[in-house]
Amino acid sequence: MAVDEPSSPEIFKPRTDKREYKRIVLRNSLEVLLVSDPDTDKCAAAMNVDVGSFSDPDGLKGLAHFLEHMLFYASEKYPLEDSYSKYITQNGGSTNAFTAWEHTNYYFDVNPDAYEEALDRFAQFFIKPLMSPDATMREIKAVDSAESEGKMAVDEPSSPEIFKPRTDKREYKRIVLRNSLEVLLVSDPDTDKCAAAMNVDVGSFSDPDGHEGLAHFLEHMLFYASEKYPLEDSYSKYITQNGGSTNAFTAWEHTNYYFDVNADAYEEALDRFAQFFIKPLMSPDATMREIKAVDSEHQKNLLSDVWGNSQLQKHLSSPGHPYSKFNTGSWETLEVRPRAKGQDTRQELIKFYHGNYSANLMQLVVYAKESIEVIESLVGTKFQDIPSSGRNPIKFPGQPCLPEHLQILVRTVPIEEGHRLSFAWPITPGIHYYQEGPCRWSTSLWAGEMDWTTEFSFFKVSITLTDSGHEHMQDVVGLLFKYIKLLQESEHMQDVVGLLFKYIKLLQESGVCEWIFNEFYPPKDWLAASSLPSKFNPSVIQLILNELTPHNIRIFWESKNFDGQTNSVEPWYGTAYSVEQISAADIEQWIHASPNAHLHLPAENVFIPTDLSIKEAKEKVIYPTLVKKSACSRLWYKPDTLFSCPKALVKMDFNCPWANHSPESDVFTEIFTMLLADYLNEYAYYAQVAGLDYSIKHTGSGFGVTVNGYNHKLKILLETVIDKIAKFTVKADRFYEMVIKDYENYKFQQPYQQAMSYCSLVLLDQSWPWTEQVEVLPHLEPDDLSKFVPVLLSRTFLECYVAGNIEAKEAESMINHVEEVLFQGTHPVCRPIFPSQHLTNRVIKLSKGRSYSFLANGLNPKDENSALVHYIQVHRDDFVTNVKLELFALMAKQPAFHQLRSVEQLGYITVLMKRNYFGIHGVQFVIQSTAKGPGRLDQRVEAFMEMFYSKLREMTAEEFRGNVNALIDVKLEKHKNLKEESMFYWREIADGTFKFNRKECEIAALKQLTQKELFDFVDEYIKVGAPRRKVLSTRCNNNGHVVIIENSQFYCYGLVAKINSKI
């Protein structure tokens, strides 16, 4: 009865699953999955039919759902009405069905001894069902009754089982509300934060012509207010004051809104969130202000190579495809051009909202502490009123690149220094083969699939070139294609990928993977998506490789050397470029002429773990403990007692007294860390594939090494890094490449980043201005670095932290090995530092009641943005004072954003945050603006502080206690993973505060805090004119803004002479 040679592919299942599976196809083409389970006490069956409510005829909405009801009644073989359901029930079973958009599903379970007849009765639904006139009329009434009773979910209680890691204890369920809103419910009783995300199947591809950026603008507008909650910005304020965060983003074909919040505030937060999609308010005043905010966001991006190059690639595509659009939006596209045509942007916005925001085009995820049943009821209540137009999703078929857009070489002039080659091939979208993950197997190219939809995709490769590489661009292109050909033709490629697949299966079976919800995938794979490919299919990988040919290549070549040699300008970001057609024959010549580089497939990966077992901690250690101390090092250790994950993390700070004692040594130390990381690149691919990561960073006291990932082979990677440090030599060619360009590109930082750097420059001991560092660069030679590194390492102390799935003796063994390599032998690389050389973190102590300003011009004359960092220094680390400052920051954060950013439109980047310099606490405003100069920004900050102080004084006792409880909830939030926990404890070690029980102590302080104590604190330290208020304003000014100097303040121009008093 089955088709010959069914040969079903091996079905992936958990290692512990003893059931037997087989796929067959009957002669009538019915596809069947057979499951044998000798241990079961219930038998079951389910039939899926590939037709659903989307197929309802016009004028007969609900017909598919009605048919689902009718099939249960009777059949020619079993004509007694309702006899099927009665048989199932009498034999200990249950049965049901549900109608979805594109399919209908029928299912039952029953006692094993009644299974054969139950299966026969079930089969008759689909062979010869009976649908009598009387039953038809009665069931129409039943369907109508269910609707009128206000059922909130379609009769679809059993969502397909969602694949999840074995260690995931959360409960999941998929439902569809009556308005066709699809929902994933997640119940996690252990969570201390609840969250929600709404995806809307409309994005920037749907922007109307002449209103570029309208979808993105609508995303901004929905945050403002709704009919139910009309107070402007009250949603964001509620989320912030209850320990949460919220944001959104607009993509090409969808827009996503999300938030998290403390659990006790979740129900109201969810209600406020739902109102975005039920009855939002879009006032004329808010509309005009938010157009300016969108434009400010665009202005911020104008001097970014990432944004400019992305738009250029879209610009050089078919103008008839939405891929070519400019989608951020600006004052020009949202105000100037529409007004010139007599169009009202607000009316267009409302029209766009009502035309595109429909419940059947949305997917919601809700994550909460309560049971699935409670969450389902809550979701139905909150979201069932979202209107549904029932229209189909908009599709954008076709390819963005026509033949004339392929086989091109585009020369572009970047903003930053450096040379880069980027390659892009149109390929079959990987989403079509998400279980095989063909593009994920190609990471040996340091490349991947980007800019994709379900209709099109690009495979991209990006290569940063040296000056020599720039001069030999054709050789680089030739070598890349040679390597692609090697992958295409190699008989061993399948072996390499097969080994990776075995590793992936090991991770799956161990349940150590991270998951995300993704609406592009079938419900059963919503969590896993393509994060772990489950099918090894060499033919699919070969399919993608075969699309990477010279016939469909787009090459983008960036270099400042092309300045003055281009003939076109991209209209939105002003990127200068020129286009040259190149043929496949040209590339074949480059391939033939390129050098023989002995290319090969990746070698055996020594970092791939084979032991993912969990080690039981002998003691339930709550905080890090000091397990080793010597003249060379100090080791803090914290076993994993929370996450049950086979991972570990090692941090090592190399405290070197010679590292930063002058601008030259500071530059040398930076170059050393850059070159060290560069030399380790040969291991980067292997480490990444094996789930390991490392970083080398210049620090205020020397440099730091971090290694983290699966613990089994982590020691090998750490030893590799230490060996490179011990045997460090300078490669002259890389010295020149790494140094000059990196320092030159500092001036292209955003002005707010420059202002923050100036703030740190003024406050921190042994920090040096960029101008002095650049001044010494021309005089530095590779030989100078070769002489400096031995001096740098000659006196060293290692501050170490080891945490995770690792035993104390293993941690000590790691550090002992490091000491043996660096500190021992006849000619040791390092020697212990002298007691007097142990570095102390020192911060400038500002004088009470004084305000200081540091003024500097922006380093990039083309950048029209100015920036301000308004820093208020408060106190040395103290639990009680800490929580007062944190409470003030929590209460002021959202009002500051609303007033300065939303109302006054000072700039897209507007934030109030706490600042901690090595245990010296303060609060700061950061604003970047094209509208106002930094002096005016400073005045507006002071005006806000006065306005907020008045509102703070009006706060009720209930509001005060609510804010205190919200901050307590934030501090009670558990660490989400080993890395987050480790960074928390490492901060205590690095700052020298060592208060590992900080959360508990600060919670205790909050519980004792009174409203009067908070007011007294603000009166003494924070409010304008407070006797102990200490302010430092660092101002980064562009050429177009007026410099404002107030007589009452002490100013520093250019380089500030640091204040002598130290904390």
- The tokens describing 130, both together, are 């009976």
Spatial contact of 640 and 802, defined as CB atoms under 8 Å apart? no
Buried b vs exposed e over 30-52: b needs ≥16 C-beta within 10 Å?
Answer: eeeeeeeeeeeeebbbebebeeb
Q: Where are the alpha helices (DSSP H) in 320-386?
A: 331, 337-340, 345-356, 372-383
What kind and span of H or E run contains 685? helix 681-689
| Phi, psi torsion values for 916, nearest 5 degrees | -125, 110
Paired with 97 in beta bridges are: 106
C-alpha to C-alpha distance for 39 and 648, rounded to whole angstroms: 39
| Phi, psi torsion values for 393, nearest 5 degrees | -60, 150
- The tokens describing 191, both together, are 């969570």
> Which residues, in sequence order, are CB contacts of 549 under 8 Å at separation 6+?
425, 584
CA of residue 984 relative to chain centroid, distance: 20
- The tokens describing 189, both together, are 């009783």
Tell me how long the chain is. 1063
C-alpha to C-alpha distance for 905 and 295, rounded to whole angstroms: 10
Q: Give the CA radius of gyration of the chain.
A: 32
- Scan for tokens 């091939």, then name that residue: 425
Smallest CA-to-CA distance from 594 within 700, 481, 686 is with 481
List the catalytic residues: 219, 290
> Which residues, in sequence order, are CB contacts of 736 under 8 Å at separation 6+?
467, 782
> Which residues, in sequence order, are CB contacts of 964 under 8 Å at separation 6+?
887, 1006, 1007, 1009
Question: 957-972 and 879-896 are packed helices; what angle lies between their axes, rounded to 10 degrees?
Answer: 110
Paired with 281 in beta bridges are: 225
C-alpha to C-alpha distance for 617 and 624, rounded to whole angstroms: 13
| Phi, psi torsion values for 823, nearest 5 degrees | -110, -10
| Phi, psi torsion values for 572, nearest 5 degrees | -90, -35
Smallest CA-to-CA distance from 162 within 481, 524, 685 is with 524
Spatial contact of 737 and 418, defined as CB atoms under 8 Å apart? no
C-alpha to C-alpha distance for 408 and 581, rounded to whole angstroms: 5
Q: Could you tell me the strand order of the sheet in which 1050-1053 lies?
A: 909-917, 920-929, 866-876, 1030-1037, 851-857, 1050-1053
Does residue 244 come out as left (phi exceeding 0), alpha (psi in the -120 to 50 range) or beta? beta
C-alpha to C-alpha distance for 939 and 953, rounded to whole angstroms: 22
Paired with 553 in beta bridges are: none
- The tokens describing 1026, both together, are 């407070």
Three-state secondary-structure class, residue 845? coil
Smallest CA-to-CA distance from 250 within 184, 297, 319, 316 is with 297
Q: How many other CB atoms sit within 10 Å of the CB of residue 55?
A: 13
Paired with 577 in beta bridges are: 412, 568
C-alpha to C-alpha distance for 552 and 408, rounded to whole angstroms: 9
Cα-based distances in Å from 50 to 30, 54, 1001: 12, 11, 59
- The tokens describing 1053, both together, are 């121009």
What kind and span of H or E run contains 851? strand 851-857
